[in-house]
Amino acid sequence: MNITDPAINSYLHKLTPASHPVLLEMEQYAAKHGFPIIGPLTGRFLQQLVILTGAKRIFEMGSGYGYSAIFMALVMRAGGTIECTETDKENIARGRKHAQAARVGKKIIWHEGDALESMRKAKGKYDIILCDVDKEQYPAALGIAWPKLRKGGIMATDNTLRSGRVVTEKPPKPGTAGILKFNRMAYALPDALCTLQPLRDGLMLAVKR
């Protein structure tokens, strides 16, 4: 199921200026290898969040080869850091190379291994937390990440409409079930204001009050 009408989607893509050359190269790699990245529409939306919150500390759960992190790093103020988490060594190596090429290597710190474990060990509060791990892990990720977000901070979680499978998959498979549970949990948080944006594959925004 399309989240947005294909004609509207195409219009939005045509309207959006081309990405930074390094991001463009990463988009081409993703298209060629079928690697799931957030894409330029969500990338620009995340950049707006970085600017609006004045983010200096960002934590990303599930970073792939750094496409979403580089998007955010490009608009982050000097001295800010983005902590990336990834289990796959090759993705991390590729991510480091691209971050250097985009001249944001100093802003990005890589943690190899399980994102939920790294988040559990992380000290201090974050301005933005981006969640893009395996979908069945979303409920657990929310439980671990939410206390680490500062008041006024934003947790952004990708794929929360999952190509429409949140309404079409009956009974839901484990990934979709994880998202359905996560969406209910996020809206039920007493100290959160949530909206699920129908942007690309669905982006849940939870602002901490």
Ligand X SMILES: C[S@@+](CC[C@H](N)C(=O)[O-])C[C@H]1O[C@@H](n2cnc3c(N)ncnc32)[C@H](O)[C@@H]1O
Which residues would be at the binding site for ligand X (CB under 6 A)? 36-38, 62-64, 67-68, 85-88, 91, 114-116, 132-134, 137
Nearer to ligand X, 152 or 174 (CB): 174
Nearer to ligand X, 127 or 132 (CB): 132
Closest CA to 101 of 20, 18, 17: 20
Tell me how far, at minimum, the Cβ of 125 lies from ligand X, in Å.
21
Closest CA to 204 of 148, 147, 169, 166: 166
Tell me how far, at minimum, the Cβ of 101 lies from ligand X, in Å.
15
Where b means 16+ CB within 10 Å and e means fewer, 24-44 reads eebbeebeeeeeebbbbbbbe
Tell me how far, at minimum, the Cβ of 166 lies from ligand X, in Å.
17
Tell me how far, at minimum, the Cβ of 126 lies from ligand X, in Å.
16
| CA–CA distance, 182 with 166 (Å, rounded to integer) | 11
Please provide residue 65's backbone torsions phi and psi, each rounded to the nearest 5 degrees. -105, 25
Nearer to ligand X, 29 or 187 (CB): 29
Nearer to ligand X, 133 or 155 (CB): 133
Nearer to ligand X, 64 or 153 (CB): 64
- CB distance 143 to 181 below 8 Å: no
Strand pairing of 126-131 and 149-158? parallel
Tell me how far, at minimum, the Cβ of 190 lies from ligand X, in Å.
27
- CB distance 86 to 112 below 8 Å: yes
